[in-house]
Chain A
Amino acid sequence: EVQLVESGGGLVQPGGSLRLSCAASGFTFSNYWMHWVRQAPGKGLMWVSHINGDGTSTTYADSVRGRFTISRDNAKNSLYLQMNSLRAEDTAAYYCARDFPRSAWSFDYWGQGALVTVSS
């Protein structure tokens, strides 16, 4: 059974940093592109970033480029999102999601989400 479990969310002050983790199981992690998608409270979904299977290719949404870094450790079956220079508008539930190989850039499995609150 495919499982994605995020951790590392919490309350952080504006300008601060936080690192999210996503533990994957039930599939060959290194074979899949992985994504981060976020959802502000009461709002819609926004794609944040993705990374290829061996970690050599990454892409970011304009609103987080230069502040967020996606990475992975295939030996640990883990995906990460390092978030720096956090702003109030980064407050959201952050989901890791697996790329669906039959239709690239769609998301077939999602974690339960990690809540990040940026506030003083």
Chain B
Amino acid sequence: DIQLTQSPSSLSASVGGRVTITCRASQNISSYLNWYQQKPGKAPKFLIYASSSLQFGVPSRFSGSGSGTDFTLTISSLQPEDFATYYCQQSYSNPYTFGQGTKLEIK
């Protein structure tokens, strides 16, 4: 199975700030990397697919990059509604594994 390791596991930031979350795969997954946002008690929300493509309706302050084994999710100009847990997920091979999550909290 492909393991995804996110860093950091948690971070705090201020409204208006910028954060970057990293996801590292245990093997080359090309660009088959997706990102989700989850708020407490809610289902995950699909943000980014194929490493850098923004899902329809997702604000442009979200961006993704990377290929191979190293990927990043960047949120610029943080808004209050962005404070949540973020997960990466690989769609390269079955089983379609997720990272352990990064909890983004308000500073």
Question: Which residues of A are at the interface with B, using a C-beta cutoff of 8 A?
Answer: 44-47, 59, 61-62, 95, 100, 102-113
Contact = CB atoms under 8 A, between A and B. Distances in A.
28 contacts: A44-B98, A44-B99, A44-B101, A45-B44, A45-B87, A45-B89, A45-B98, A45-B101, A47-B96, A47-B97, A95-B44, A102-B49, A102-B53, A103-B32, A103-B34, A103-B49, A103-B91, A104-B91, A105-B96, A106-B34, A106-B46, A106-B49, A106-B89, A106-B91, A108-B46, A109-B46, A110-B44, A110-B46
Contacts of B91: 103-106
B43 A111 contact: yes
DSSP majority for the B interface?
A: loop
Nearest to A106: B34
Given A47-B95, A108-B46, 19 more contacts: A45-B36, A45-B38, A45-B44, A45-B87, A45-B98, A47-B96, A62-B95, A95-B43, A100-B46, A102-B49, A102-B53, A103-B32, A103-B49, A103-B50, A103-B91, A104-B91, A105-B91, A106-B91, A112-B43
A51 B66 CA distance: 29
Contact of A59 (B45, B55, B94, B100): B94
B43 A44 contact: no
A101 to B, nearest CB: 11
A111 B42 CA distance: 9
Most interface-central of A62, A106, A109, A110 (chain B CB within 10 A): A106
Contacts of A109: 46
